[in-house]
Structure 1
């Protein structure tokens, strides 16, 4: 279950990140300036991710970041286009969504490595990265869907972002916890990262 959820999270973050990069013009009516701003936000997003995983953990920052992504794109559906100069309210919400998606992607690398047991850690992280490439590849369809209706890509972003946030609830928190060494170590964990059979001296 942990692996399937992680696969979905990797797919979602890659699909939204690359799909947004490929659909800036259809989404906001602009292209170069919006793309430039989104690129500039990449560094502060990853810096914030680093601070959050050190201070607050992995699970809840990811859940909140993914939920923010979904809510921001949901908000763009209620803003009428071509009313404001440069559609700036839509641009702002989309940039916040892009920021939180980048943050989530940065968290996933650490979170996935810590949630996978040592015996399959390399394969787990590698296969998760492979799934993200599938999401990135399928994101090329976003522009084509936007040609049908501009709201279609946004609805997909909303659905994936909120669903990813909800599914992550079933993953354990890994901050301050000994990394699992075997499959059995993982199976002793619940979604709240409490061991089912305590007494081994670990928190």
Structure 2
């Protein structure tokens, strides 16, 4: 949409003001219409608010028996105090959580850096700047739709790894080709890295346990923004060798592929609702792969999971 805005609003100050006003409107709509996460409310003991949201949502899906809510209230969760006092320190308290936090945040840095690097090179796609930026933005629409369908079908880790590998190879292709091939590799790279951008948030949300999910995603976003800041500076290296920035983006993508191998697959598993479940997430997935059943393979079903399975 920015390309369309810029086509009609040519003065950059007015363009920025207009974009900010649109963002403020979207922010107000989200605040007013989107409810709080019932998982998070339940994890910190705010049962009344969680039940109200679930009951409202269940009207459109499956009615949840009252007995289920009573069982949740009477259930003694051993780590309730841990969940209530969870902070950013819990992301690094255990070796497993520490490794996954470092991997997720590093992936955020790499994906943001490559994403903005490819976006900044969009003007090489066409002699018309507005058309070039418009094509670069338009390819994100199928990327978002297809990536969501693909991760549900084949899993988070293989799709994310394939997408970031495709983005890296496209960057290398941009570096060593010219003419119309630049457009092909440029749009392919933007498609792939846009898919990574969306899958990364889904993957991170499924790996971080509920009490620290917002903190973990916030940390990954902050580190990722550092990659976004670095991308324009890397583009300046092109004065030394024009192809060097794209070669660097390709190398970053290769590192990202290797890092993804350190993360567990989360397709078909329940979200970890406590710090302990987050620590043992990989063990549970491994048990499920071996065909085991019960609590070792999956977390206990809750009203949240009942709603998701419908």
Q: TM-score, normalised by structure 2?
A: 0.58
Aligned partner of 1:200 among 291, 295, 302: 295
1:6 aligns with 2:98: no
Residue 30 of structure 1 and its aligned partner are, at CA, apart by: 4.5
Work out which structure has the larger RCO, using CA pairs closer than 8 Å and 6 or more positions apart in sequence.
1
Q: Return the alpha-carbon distance in structure 2 between the equivalents of residues 37 and 191 of structure 1.
A: 43
Q: Map residues 55-70 of structure 1 onto 2, 5 A cutoff.
A: 55-70=153-168
Q: Return the alpha-carbon distance in structure 2 between the equivalents of residues 4 and 161 of structure 1.
A: 16
Q: Deviations over 1:24-56 (max 9, x none)?
A: 34x667561332211110111101111112212
In the other structure, the counterpart of 2:197 is 105
Q: Deviations over 1:41-97 (max 9, x none)?
A: 011110111111221221111000001111122233333x4xxxxx11122112101
Aligned partner of 1:170 among 245, 262, 266: 262
Residue 162 of structure 1 and its aligned partner are, at CA, apart by: 1.4
Q: Return the alpha-carbon distance in structure 2 between the equivalents of residues 168 and 31 of structure 1.
A: 37
Aligned partner of 2:212 among 93, 117, 120: 120
- Structure 1 105/149 Cα, relative in aligned 2: closer, same or farther at 3 Å? same
Q: Deviations over 1:77-131 (max 9, x none)?
A: 333x4xxxxx111221121011100001011111111100122111001111111
Q: Return the alpha-carbon distance in structure 1 between the equivalents of residues 183 and 140 of structure 2.
A: 16
Q: Map residues 35-54 of structure 1 onto 2, 5 A cutoff.
A: 35-54=133-152
1:150 aligns with 2:245: no
Q: Return the alpha-carbon distance in structure 2 between the equivalents of residues 146 and 69 of structure 1.
A: 19
- Structure 1 70/89 Cα, relative in aligned 2: closer, same or farther at 3 Å? same
Q: Map residues 71-90 of structure 1 onto 2, 5 A cutoff.
A: 71-79=169-177, 81=178, 87-90=179-182
Q: Return the alpha-carbon distance in structure 1 between the equivalents of residues 127 and 284 of structure 2.
A: 43
Query: Could you say what the CA RMSD is over the residues aligned between the two structures, in angstroms?
Result: 2.3
Equivalences, count: 195
Residue 192 of structure 1 and its aligned partner are, at CA, apart by: 9.5
- Structure 1 184/47 Cα, relative in aligned 2: closer, same or farther at 3 Å? same
Give 5+ residue unaligned stretches, structure 1.
Answer: 82-86
Structure with the greater alpha carbon radius of gyration: 2
Give 5+ residue unaligned stretches, structure 2.
Answer: 1-98, 299-310
